[in-house]
Amino acid sequence: MFDWLNYTIYGEVTWFRLITALLVFFAALVVSKVLTVQLRKTLMDRMDKENLETMSKVIFYGIMVIAIIWIMPNIGIEPSGLLVAGGIVGLAVGFASQSIIGNLISGIFLMGERPVKLGDLIEISDTLGFVEEIQIISTSIRTLEGNFVRIPNETVFTSNITNYTSNPVRRFEYTVGISYADDADRAMQVIKDLIKEHPLALVNPAPQVYVESLGDSSVDIIVRIWSPSTEWFGVKMEMLWKIKKAIEAAGIEIPFPQRVVWQGTDKTQEVSPETSGLILNSDQED
C-alpha cells in the first residue's frame, strides 16, 4: 500500500524522504513560532520591546536554520560541502563574535534572573549609579555625578552587584561622641526625640540609640535609623546635622580627640589637668 513511498523522485530522493523533510520543516516552523510567542509573553514586562523582538527573531531563525541543515540530505543536498566552507567562516565569525555572544547570553540570563531593574541604585565594577537601560548586550548606568556608563552584560553577570534599592528600606548609622562630663541618657533622649519628629525615620524597624563604647576622648553613642530606600541618602544627610545642633542646643559637648599626658613627677600629686599635665590634641602627642 505504501510502496509508492519508496519510489525515487530524483537522485536518491524518495517520496518518503521528501515527506519526512517537509514534516520536519513544518514541525520546526510550529515549534519556533510557539516558542517565540511564549517568549514574548513571558518577557514582555521584563525586556525592552525592541530587544525582545530581536531575540525572538534570533531564536526563530536559529531553529529554522538547524532544521533546514538537518533536512538537506533528505532532499538530495549534501550539507558536508556547505559545512566545510561554513565551518571556516563560522570559526572566523565565532572568534570575532565571542564576546558578543557572551554578552548576549549573559543579557538573556540577566533578564531572567533580574538582579537589577530600571531605576535601581546599584554598585557594580566600582561604578555606582542608577540603572537607566538594560539591553540584550549591555546595561547603562547613570552615575551619581551624572555620567553615562555602559557596562557589557558579561561583566554585569559575572561581577558582584550591590543593589541599594532592591529592599524597601535601608539603615544608616552614626557614632556621636559626647563629653564624659555630660549625661549620656539626656543626649540619647535628645536624639530619640529628633528621630521621632522626622517623618522618614521609620517607626518599624525601630531605631536604635545606645552607648556603644567608652572611647579615649568621648562616650560614643551609636544611632541606627531605618528609612525608605528611595529617601535614605537625604534623611542621612539631614539627620546628622540636626543631631549635632540639637545636642549642642541641649548643652551637651561633642569633644575633640584629646589625651592627658602625665609628667613623671606628677604621679604623687593630685590628679587634675591644671596642676599636673597638658591636654593635647591627638595630632600633637608625638
Partner 1 sequence: MAKKNSAAAEGTKPIYWKYQPGQDNEGFPWGPHKLPLEMNFEGVNLVVEKHEGGFMYRRESRGESIKKVILADKGSLLLSPVEPFYLPVGISNHLLIAFEQPVTIEPRTTKNVLVTFPLELVSAIDQRKAGKRILDTFTLCRPKFTLYGSIRDGLVCKYWQSEVHNTIPSVNPLEYGVMKLAIQNTSARWVEARKAVFSAHGMKIYFSQSLVSLKATMKISSESSAETNFVDEPLQAGMNKALELFSARLISLPGKTVMEGGY
| Per CB under 8 A, 160 contacts partner 1 | no
Question: What order of strands is seen across the sheet that includes strand 138-143?
Answer: 148-152, 138-143, 127-134, 121-124, 161-163
Considering beta carbons, is residue 167 or 265 the nearer one to partner 1?
A: 167
Q: Which of residues 104, 187, 202, 209 is near partner 1 by CB under 8 A? A: 202
Output the CA–CA distances (angstroms, integers) from residue 90 to 65, 94, 95, 97, 136, in the order listed: 14, 6, 8, 10, 22
- Would you tell me how many other CB atoms lie within 10 Å of the CB of residue 55? 20
167 sits near partner 1 (criterion: CB under 8 A): yes
Cα–Cα distance, 133 to 125 (Å, whole number): 17
Span interacting with partner 1, options 77-85, 100-108, 197-205, 248-256, rule CB under 8 A: 197-205
Binding of partner 1 by 45 (CB under 8 A): no
- On whether the CB atoms of residues 202 and 228 are closer than 8 A, the answer is yes
- Asked if 215 touches partner 1 (CB under 8 A), the answer is no
Pick between residue 57 and residue 196 the one whose CB is nearest to partner 1: 196
- Which residue shows C-alpha cell 517623618? 199
Q: Hey, which residues between 132 and 151 contact partner 1 (CB under 8 A)?
A: none
Q: How distant, in Å, are the alpha carbons of 24, 25, 53, 64, 207 from that of 28?
A: 6, 5, 19, 6, 60
CB of 190 to partner 1, least distance (A): 18
Nearest to partner 1 of 220, 231 (CB atom): 231
Which listed residue (133, 212, 220, 231) binds partner 1 by CB under 8 A? 231
- The binding site for partner 1 (CB under 8 A) comprises 167-169, 197, 199-200, 202-205, 226, 228, 230-231
